Amino acid sequence: MEQNLYIGCNGQVSAIDPQTGEELWRTKLKPGVISATHYEDVSVIVRNGIIYAGCNGHIFALSPDGQIVWHNPLKGIGFNDISLAFEGHSIQYIQKTVHQSSGSNSST
């Protein structure tokens, strides 16, 4: 059985069919007018059929159909990115900055 691809972006988690690229479902992690996870990066890791998502100091567990099973606001931890790990598996963000040279080429 083919497994889905799960992505996290802008405070949301989506399931993607890896064969077709079709989005199967999308879940806003903390819906509402004042959302603590609105427009934030999301880390995603899957274990035993549960999708775990970390975003802006919050952690969520989602069912395979995208329903939020539980939410922990991790009070007192702050509102930074979340790195997720299970023994042997981890998700971390690495930001790469690319600098371009503004020099010109000339031939003689």
pLDDT of residue 101: 57
C-alpha to C-alpha distance for 63 and 50, rounded to whole angstroms: 5
Could you read off the pLDDT of 22-50 as tens digits, one per residue? 999 999 987 555 555 566 789 999 999 99
Domains of the chain by start residue, with CATH: 5-91 (2.40.128.630)
79-82: Cβ within 8 A, 24+ apart: 79/36, 80/56, 81/40, 81/41, 81/43, 81/54, 81/55, 81/56, 82/43, 82/54, 82/55, 82/56, 82/57, 82/58
User: CA separation (Å) from 39 to 10, 30, 69, 71, 97?
Assistant: 4, 11, 21, 18, 21
Q: For the full predicted model, state whether its pTM sits above 0.85.
A: no
